Amino acid sequence: MISSSADSAAERAANVLVRPVSLGSLALRNRLAMAPMTRQFSPGGVPGADVAAYYARRAAGGVGLIITEGTYVGHDSAGTSDSVPRFHGEDALTGWAGVADAVHRAGAAIVPQLWHVGMARTAGAPPVPEAPRAGPSGVPLDESAPGRAMTSADIDDVIAAFAAGAASAEARGFDGIELHGAHGYLIDQFLWARTNRRDDAYGGDLASRSRFAAEIAAACRAAVSPEFPIVFRMSQWKLGAYQARIAETPQELEVVLAPLAEAGVDAFHCSTRRYWLPEFEGSDLNLAGWAKKLSGKAAISVGSVGLGTEFITMHRDERGDVTDIDRLLDRMERDEFDVVAIGRALLADPDWAAKTLSGRTGELNPYDPKSLGTLY
C-alpha cells in the first residue's frame, strides 16, 4: 500500500512533469527525455534490432522523448569508432528507421543526435582510418599531437554532412534532430577560444566563433520542413576540462544563442554536471534556465538527475539516491526550463519515468556502473 506522503509526491511529480509541452511544433506526452549516451553497440556503424529494443524499452518505460546516442554524420573525419552508429549510408539509415518505428510504437517521440568529434578523433581509428584529425585550428583538447586546421572546403563539407543527416532523419520518420554542440566535440571546438584560434570569419571574437554552429543550424533548417524541430545541445564544460567556459556572463551566452535561434534552432539542450547549480553569479538559474530566458526558445536541462551525486563521482565509487527529485520539481514548477533529460538513472531502470510518475520511487533501481552490463 502506498502511503499518503508517497501519494502526494506522486501527484506533485505528475502535475509538474505531465503538463503539455512542445519543442517547436513537436508535442511531447510528458516533460521527461532520455539523454544521449554513447554505447558502441552498432557493429560497422549499423544499429540492429537490439538497438531498437533498447530504445523502445525506455520509451515503453514512460519517457516522452528519446534522444539517441551520438551518431556520426557523413564526413570521413567525423568518427573515432566503428561500433558507434552512423547516420549516413543506406544500411545504417534502414537500421535507424527500424529504431524510430519501434520507439513510436512504444509511445514516445525520437530524435537522432548528429555528431562530429573533430579533434577528439584518435589518429588512425575507424571507421575511416586514413581520415585526418581535424578541427577549427588543429588544436587538441588534451596532450595529444596537433591535427589539421580545417580549410574553407572542409567547413563546407561538414556543414553539408549535417544538413544531409537532418534530411535523412525527416525522411526516415524521426521527429526532429539534435545537433551535438557540447563537451568539446567539433561544433564546441569552434565555440571555445582555447581550440579555435582562427583569424578568418570563423574565429576571433565570440560572435565569429559562433558562426560555424549557426551555419550548420541554418543548413539543417533549409534541408527539412519548416516545422521539423532542431535541438542544439551545448555545454560549458568539456571532456577533460570541466571548468571550461564559453560564456562568462549572460551577455556572452546571448551572443552564442541569438544566431542559433535566428538560424532555426527550436530548443536548447543544456548539459551541466549538476542541474541544481546556478550558471552565473546573481541568479539561481542554471544553464538551461538562462538559455530559455535569453533566447525565448524551449530548453532541456540535464545533469545528474536521479543520481544523488554528479556522474563523475558515481563512476568512481558510489551509488546514488535515485528518489530525490524535489529540487528538480521546484525548478520545473516555476518553468525555469521545459524538459529534463535523464541519463544514467534511466540506464539503471528503464521504468524510471513510469515509477516516478506513479509514486513507486521506492522500487527504483540505483545506478551502479559495476553491475549494468549490456543494456537492452
CATH number of residue 239's parent domain:
3.20.20.70
- Distance between alpha carbon 325 and the CA centroid of its chain, in Å? 21
DSSP state letter for 120: G
3-state SS, one letter per residue, for 106-130: CCCEEEEEEECCHHHCCCCCCCCCC
Residue 375 lies in a domain: no
Flag whether 45 is in a domain.
yes
Q: What pLDDT, in 10s, does the model give residues 174-215?
A: 999 999 999 999 999 999 999 999 999 999 999 999 999 999
Q: Is residue 184 part of a domain?
A: yes
Lookup result for grid cell 556543414 = 159
How much is the pLDDT for 143? Answer: 87
Average pLDDT, whole number, for the chain?
Answer: 92
Record the cell numbers describing residue 256, joined without a space: 552564442
Q: At residue 344, does pLDDT exceed 60? A: yes
Q: Which domain holds residue 300?
A: 4-363
Q: Is residue 376 part of a domain?
A: no
Q: What integer pLDDT is reported at residue 304 of this predicted model?
A: 80
Residue 369 belongs to a domain: no
Closest CA to 253 of 236, 266, 237: 236
Tell me the three cell numbers of residue 49: 534490432
Name which of 80-84, 93-97, 127-131, 361-365 the model is least confident about.
Answer: 361-365
Cell numbers placing 289: 534556465
For residues 335-348, one letter each, b for 16 or more C-beta atoms within 10 angstroms of the residue's C-beta and e for the rest, the string is: ebbbbbbbbbbbbb
Q: Is 22 exposed, middle or buried (0-12, 13-18, 19+ CB in 10 A)?
A: middle
Q: What is the pLDDT of residue 309?
A: 47
Label residue 374 by pLDDT band (50, 70, 90).
Answer: very low
Q: One of 185, 202, 275, 367 is an active-site residue; which one?
A: 185
The total number of structural domains that make up the chain? 1
Tell me, yes or no, whether 370 lies in a domain.
no
Q: Peptide bond before 127: cis, by omega within 30 degrees of 0?
A: yes
Across residues 346-352, what is the average pLDDT?
Answer: 93
pTM of the model: 0.94
Q: Are 268 and 292 in contact (CB under 8 A)?
A: yes
Q: Cα separation of 45 and 41, whole Å?
A: 8
Please say if 54 is a catalytic residue: no
CA 155, CA 161: separation in Å to the nearest integer?
10
Higher pLDDT, 335 or 4: 335
| Residue 313 belongs to some domain of the structure | yes
Report whether 353 contacts 306 (CB < 8 A). Answer: no
Q: Enter the DSSP assignment of 342.
A: E
- Average pLDDT score over residue span 262-278: 96
pLDDT at residue 240, rounded to an integer: 87
Q: Which of 8-22, 103-117, 147-161, 327-341 has the lowest mean pLDDT?
A: 8-22
Q: How far is residue 305's CA from residue 49's CA, in Å, rounded to a whole number?
A: 29
Q: For residues 109 and 174, what is the distance between their CA atoms, to the nearest angstrom?
A: 8
